[in-house]
Structure 1
Amino acid sequence: MEWKKALPFLAGFAVILALIWWAGTEDVLTILSRASLTWLGVALLAYLGGIITWALRWHVLLEGVDVKARFRDTFAALFVGILFNNITPGARGGGEALRTYYLAKRTGSSYGQILASVTADRILDLIPVMVMMLLSMFYAYWGGVYSLFTLLLLLNIILISITGLATVVIASERRMRKIVFGLFRLLVRIMPSRVLKYEEKFSQLVDTNIPHFTNSLRTVSKDKKTFTVALGYSFLTWFFVILRNYLVFISLGYWVSFTDVMIVQMIGTAVGLISIIPGGAGLIEAVTAGSFVLLGITREMAVTASILDRIISFWLPLIVGIILVAKFGLKPKTASLGGEDTSDKSREKNE
């Protein structure tokens, strides 16, 4: 990455160092020295369990829109998406385009079909989040932690508003075309020399793939079996997310209630979704540590647990992902399920 692109992550490191100083560097190091590597390993396994169930959920949705993909390709595309979600701001949406591109090249399916499965995946991901955020809000109120109750209420309103707006847009092919072409015209104004030469190809892609998108999304939304199975995987994925954070506390020899972990995890998730900082680097660590302190956990334990959890769920996958992409690139090999060529030329011909 260019040094300017690395600035948000350097700022994130600075925030983490400030958190450690705030909690007491010596105290944090003492807690870390007592950490159980065995339980940290189990927490890492919980993280992997969440990724696998997420991939299973997307795979079910892909089958629901008639995309034939091997599970290993689905998993690889998801990991590419996770990497770019972690380095792009705002709703962690940067990775969705990349995993759509990756799997389209791998399977020969249309971008519209795969994007429909990705959209359904994001919707099903939000359902358990909304449920747990509402539960967390009530738990915080009953527990007398009114500052967290207010924060959760505000985050709920923001997420519901964003979700409602997005639903209104994707429900109409006409509105989608209007917004997509509006974004293209904006790019033309910003950098006309680079964008105008792709205008014809862009129009063809939009004309081909938006109908594929709306039809496929309609199909999967009416498929009760696909919806039910995928939703089950979604709740299981979020169970693993909360379990991972809970196991981090266990590794530090500190008892914390599963409910408290859920409350803080939902706050961190919501902040990450609306953060303008890529991956919420530093911001999420600060918010989760502060939330744990409000729930009565000591500063040094809250900061240590928050940082360790983020190392497992964000920093380590980010480093591994950057290394893999730098080594192997984004474009997958041109082998398909049936041994046919899915190179760029054959892909364009299909569309």
Structure 2
Amino acid sequence: MIQRWEGAGRIFQVILGIIVIAGIIAAIGVGEMMAIMSGITLPRLIALTLLQLGTLYLTSTIWYLLLREKSSTITPSSVFLITMAGTFIESITPSVKLGGEAMKIYLMKKKSGLSYQELTGVAIASKIFYLVPFLLISLITIVAAFFILDLPAVVYSAFAGLLICCCLLCLLLFRTGEKERTGKDHPIIQRIRTRTDAARSFLSRSSGMAAEIVRDPKKSATLYLLAFIVWAFYPVKVYLVAYLLGFQVSPIVIIIATFTAYLVSMIPLLPGGLVTFEGTMVLVLVSGGMALPDAAAVAIMTRCITFWIPLLLSAAVTLFFIQERRSETVSSI
């Protein structure tokens, strides 16, 4: 019953986000918005979608590089499909890029043969490699924007929140060995650990495994570089959308709009950062000199390519895994 209520709540949140976005389009003018967005033809839409899928593939490569030394059965294609399934869960849950990790761990266990503990360690490490470059890029973006644009206060709040989360995660990783050396946990670690011994032990061992991965300088450099490349493609996609719609926008404004929008969208309000992403991007683009309808068209079309189309594709992948699971259950009876 609880799961049904949670599922209904997620659907309601998605519908609410769609209604708000539809209201924004209606307020600006449906005809005007459609005329602006008609610049994205079907071939261009397909090309931009393939670019987005390529970005998702690079993201899945971080998981693959972390897993290949531990499991010989894992393949890049299987990791990519599992990442897509995780993307679906992540898109329908209001979370700081964490919603799909449980799904990934569950499916990776089946494909790799690794334990939940090992996979949790890999998941923690992957988030470190993925979020640290974003945090650094966001810091540079905010500093640059401070001298160029007037950013909404929520952007600074979101950055502070993400910074605190990353600091706590790093503290958890690099203080894990303190108990082994001194027999005592760090005071902050004691407060954030789960109360039960089993959960505390599981988290401690998983964090230790993640810390070993993160401390490997050669592997870390490769994965940080890969994550940086992934994030570098994000403003490129927004710039291409603006260009194909016929707008000449400063690359600096595009970069600021992109990363501040993703930063604010990580606040766990609505699934996938609905509304918060679009609203922040529109505000920044308007501050950068774009007209409101033009900025809204860029933000909404960007979300179609980076969120809605991947959401539909990842839903199909998720249904495939569900059907595969059902077939295995039936055959085992």
Q: Where on the TM-score scale, by shorter chain, does this alignment land: which range?
A: 0.7 to 0.9
> Of residues 50, 57, 64 in structure 2, which corresponds to 1:52?
57
Q: Is the 8 A contact 1:264 1:291 kept in 2?
A: yes
Deviation of 1:333 (Å): 9.8
Deviation of 1:181 (Å): 3.8
Q: Which amino acid aligns with 2:249?
A: V
Q: Is the 8 A contact 1:19 1:286 kept in 2?
A: no
> Of residues 277, 281, 285 in structure 2, which corresponds to 1:288?
281
Q: Which amino acid aligns with 2:144?
A: Y
Deviation of 1:90 (Å): 2.3
> Of residues 146, 162, 166 in structure 2, which corresponds to 1:163?
166
Cα separation, partners in 2 of 1:246 and 1:332, compared to 1, 3 Å: farther
How far apart, CA to CA, are the structure 1 residues paired with 2:327 and 2:31? 53
Q: Superposition pairs for residues 135-214 of structure 1, below 5 Å?
A: 135-143=140-148, 145-148=149-152, 150-173=153-176, 179=192, 181-182=194-195, 203=198, 207=201, 209-210=202-203, 212-214=205-207
Deviates more, 1:97-106 or 1:313-322: 313-322
Q: Report the count of equivalent residues.
A: 314
Q: Superposition pairs for residues 1-351 of structure 1, below 5 Å?
A: 3-63=8-68, 66-68=70-72, 69-143=74-148, 145-148=149-152, 150-173=153-176, 179=192, 181-182=194-195, 203=198, 207=201, 209-210=202-203, 212-329=205-322
How far apart, CA to CA, are the structure 2 residues paired with 1:110 and 1:177? 25
Deviation of 1:177 (Å): 8.6
Deviation of 1:81 (Å): 1.3
Q: Is the 8 A contact 1:12 1:283 kept in 2?
A: no
Cα separation, partners in 2 of 1:281 and 1:239, compared to 1, 3 Å: same
The percent identity for this pair of structures is: 22
Q: Which amino acid aligns with 1:294?
A: S
Deviation of 1:178 (Å): 7.3
What's the C-alpha RMSD, in Å, of the aligned pairs?
2.9
What are the superposed Cα offsets for residues 120-170 of structure 1, whole Å, 9 maximum, x if unpaired?
A: 111111122122212222222222x2235x554333222111211232234
SS at match of 2:100: helix
Residue in 2 that maps onto 1:198: none
Cα separation, partners in 2 of 1:71 and 1:29, compared to 1, 3 Å: same
Cα separation, partners in 2 of 1:67 and 1:211, compared to 1, 3 Å: farther
Q: Is the 8 A contact 2:37 2:301 kept in 1?
A: no
Deviation of 1:229 (Å): 0.9
Residue in 2 that maps onto 1:199: none
* Structure 1 unpaired stretches of 5+: 185-201, 336-343, 345-351
Q: Which amino acid aligns with 1:298?
A: A
Cα separation, partners in 2 of 1:29 and 1:278, compared to 1, 3 Å: same
Q: TM-score, normalised by structure 2?
A: 0.84
Cα separation, partners in 2 of 1:113 and 1:308, compared to 1, 3 Å: same
SS at match of 1:91: coil
* Structure 2 unpaired stretches of 5+: 177-184
SS at match of 2:151: helix
How far apart, CA to CA, are the structure 1 residues paired with 2:151 and 2:59? 32
Cα separation, partners in 2 of 1:37 and 1:237, compared to 1, 3 Å: same
